[in-house]
Amino acid sequence: METSLLTDLLLPLSLFIIMFGMGMSLVVDDFKRVVVYPKAVILGLVGQIVVLPLIAFAIIMWLEVTPLIAVGVMLIAACPGGTTSNLISHLAKGDTALSISLTSISSLITVVSIPLIVGLSMEYFLVADQAIHLPVVKTIGTLIVITLLPVGLGMLVRKKYAEFSIKQETKVNIFSGLFLAFLVLAILLQQPQAVKMGIVTTGLVVACLNGFSMISGFIIAKIFKLDARQSTTIGIEIGVQNGTLAILIATTILHQPVMAIPAAIYSLAMFASGGMVVFWRRRQTKNL
Q: What pLDDT was estimated at residue 77?
A: 94
Evaluate whether 41 touches 102 at the Cβ level (below 8 Å).
Answer: yes
- For domain 5-274, the CATH architecture is Up-down Bundle (1.20)
Q: What 3-state DSSP class applies to 107?
A: helix
Q: Could you give the CA distance from residue 99 to residue 234 in angstroms, rounded to a whole number?
A: 7
In this structure, the number of other CB atoms found within 10 A of the CB of residue 28 comes to 9
DSSP 51: I
Four-residue CA torsion sign, 164, 167, 173, 178: negative
Instruction: Report how far residue 78's alpha carbon sits from residue 259's, in angstroms, rounded to the nearest whole number.
Output: 13
Spatial distance between the Cα atoms of 247 and 272, rounded to a whole number of angstroms: 19
Rounded to the nearest 10°, the torsion over CA 178, 183, 185, 190 is 160
d(CA 78, CA 19): 17
pLDDT in tens, the chain (288 residues): 444 655 566 777 777 777 787 778 777 777 776 677 788 889 999 999 999 999 999 999 998 888 888 999 999 999 988 777 877 887 888 887 788 888 888 888 888 899 999 989 998 988 755 666 777 788 888 788 877 888 888 889 888 888 888 777 777 767 776 776 776 677 666 666 666 666 677 888 999 999 999 999 999 999 998 988 899 999 999 998 888 888 888 888 888 888 888 888 888 888 888 888 888 888 887 765
Q: Is the CB of residue 119 less than 8 Å from the CB of residue 209?
A: no
56 near 74, Cβ under 8 Å? yes
Q: How far is CA 270 from CA 35, 39, 82, 273, 274, in A?
A: 30, 25, 12, 5, 6
Rounded Cα distance between 282 and 216, Å, is: 21
Predicted local confidence at residue 3, as pLDDT: 46
- 3-state SS of 163-223? HHHHHHHHHHHHHHHHHHHHHHHHHHHHCHHHHHHHHHHHHHHHHHHHHHHHHHHHHHHHH
